[in-house]
Structure formats: structure tokens, C-alpha cells
């Protein structure tokens, strides 16, 4: 849900003409997206993933070493950041690296 609020998910660009022709076009971000928030989030993701040490930097290096596309790894890191931001705001707590969700039996 958070991704839709920030309009960072790529939407498939398709029409019946392209569908009938048998080729697919690349995905695009909605033209209604807030470009300033998207660019700030992208720059923050680049900084966290490539230039600073931490949990997301380790994740980025692990996925790149698995021969994943760097841009798709950055998209995954961006999604993690958005999830973390919304969780921190919703729970009114700091992010805990080793957080374990407690499941209670009723």
C-alpha cells in the first residue's frame, strides 16, 4: 500500500495496439507521481545502498554479488526503506535491526 501512496512502483505501459503486435514495452512510473519525493527517495536509496555501511548496504552487496541487476536491487532497497518508514511512523518506535515479531497463541 505504501508504494502506491508514493507512486514509486512502475506500471506496465500497454495498449491493445502493442498487445496485438506481440511486443512488450518497458514499464514506466505514473505521470501523476510526486517527482520531488521520488527523486529524494532515490538519492537516499543510493546513499544507503552504495556509500554507507549497514543492513541495506550488506543486502545490496549480497544481491549484486548474486548477479542481480543493480537497478532492480535499488528498487528492492527503496521498497524496504518505504516499508521501514511507514512502520516507524505507524508504531512510533525506532527501527530495530534484530526485530522479531512475537506471535501469541490465543
Q: How confident is the model at residue 13 (pLDDT cuts 50, 70, 90)?
A: low
pTM reported for the whole predicted model: 0.67
Q: For 93, phi and psi rounded to 5 degrees? A: -135, 160
Q: What is the DSSP letter of 104?
A: P
User: Hey, where are the domains in the chain?
Assistant: 2-91
Is 33:7 a contact under the CB 8 Å cutoff?
A: yes
- Tens of pLDDT along 94-105? 877 776 666 666
pLDDT in tens, 31-78: 777 888 888 999 999 999 999 898 999 999 999 999 999 999 999 999
Q: Does residue 20 surpass a pLDDT of 50?
A: no
Sign of CA dihedral 59, 81, 77, 47: negative
pLDDT band at 27 (very low <50, low <70, confident <90, very high): low
Amino acid at each position: 500500500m505504501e508504494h502506491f501512496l508514493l507512486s514509486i512502483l512502475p506500471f506496465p505501459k500497454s495498449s491493445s495496439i502493442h498487445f496485438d503486435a506481440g511486443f512488450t514495452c518497458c514499464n514506466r512510473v505514473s505521470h501523476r507521481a510526486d517527482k520531488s519525493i521520488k527523486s529524494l527517495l532515490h538519492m537516499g536509496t543510493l546513499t544507503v545502498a552504495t556509500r554507507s555501511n549497514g543492513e541495506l548496504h550488506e543486502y545490496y552487496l549480497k544481491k549484486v554479488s548474486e548477479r542481480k541487476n543493480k537497478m532492480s536491487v535499488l528498487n528492492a532497497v527503496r521498497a524496504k526503506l518505504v516499508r521501514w518508514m511507514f512502520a516507524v511512523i505507524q508504531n512510533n518506535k525506532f527501527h530495530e535491526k534484530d526485530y522479531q515479531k512475537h506471535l501469541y497463541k490465543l
